[in-house]
Amino acid sequence: MEPVVLAVGAPGAQDLSVWGLFMMADWVVKSVMIGLVAASVWCWAIIFDKAMKLRRMKAAATDFEEAFWSGGSLDDLYDEVSQNPADPLSATFAAGMREWRHANERGLAAAGAMKANLAQRVERVMSVTIGREMQQAERYMTVLASVGSVAPFVGLFGTVWGIMNAFTNIAAQQNTSLAVVAPGIAEALFATALGLVAAIPAVVAYNKFSTDLGRFADRLDSFVTEFSAILQRHLEERG
């Protein structure tokens, strides 16, 4: 007697496609799957947005550095960028120059007792600006970190819940055949797969962006050091 082959679409056949696994899941596992898909979409939106912003920041900073070291007037450069700084580097420069001009207007740069503190004040103002600009640049990084660390466990919760339902179904039907066990197990493992799909890009992107932002912050700190040296040299030349 030849074995009976269960055709797709025949009565009792199980749809093990992605949509079929989702539709077979109960409301708890469905909620887990929907949440993981939403988290994955959110992470990818953050990844693309952050990648584009970092590219623009680096390009704008390079253009500003070329203008800064071109030998032109720093006052003219400040007048050009102070109203609408295009990147954190130009915003940092504008903050330092603003403090410097304010001191000049009050005659502090010419007062011998105030010269020693002026360079430190300008450096502090620029450091505060760096902190504010980097805080804005690092926005939503915590979302990537949270999804990367939590999504696998959320998917595992959906898997455990789905396996519980599978064993409950086995006990109810008193049938341990593969046709009874496979759909529930596949549905449960699908939740884990979605958790990994959400977590892996988030972790990779978080590590990449953290490294890039750290290097950019170092670039800003180096600029502050160089600008402070120029300012100190200018004060010394004034005598």
Residues in the chain with pLDDT values less than 70:
1-22, 25, 107-116, 174-183, 237-239
Check if the beta carbon of residue 14 is closer than 8 Å to that of residue 179.
yes
Check if the beta carbon of residue 171 is closer than 8 Å to that of residue 106.
no
* Residue recorded with tokens 């070291």: 69
Provide the whole-model pTM. 0.80
List b or e across 82-119, with b for residues whose CB sees 16 or more CB atoms inside 10 angstroms.
beebebbbbbbbbbbbbbbeebeeeebbeeeeebeebb
* 46-96 per-position pLDDT tens digit: 999 999 999 999 999 999 999 989 888 888 888 888 888 888 999 999 999
Check if the beta carbon of residue 182 is closer than 8 Å to that of residue 14.
yes
> What's the pLDDT score for residue 6?
41
Task: Kindly give, in sequence order, each residue whose CB lies less than 8 Å from that of residue 181, ignoring residues fewer than 6 positions away.
Answer: 166, 170
CA distances from 155 to 34, 151, 195, 200 (A): 11, 6, 4, 13
Helix (H, G, I), strand (E, B) or coil at 19: helix
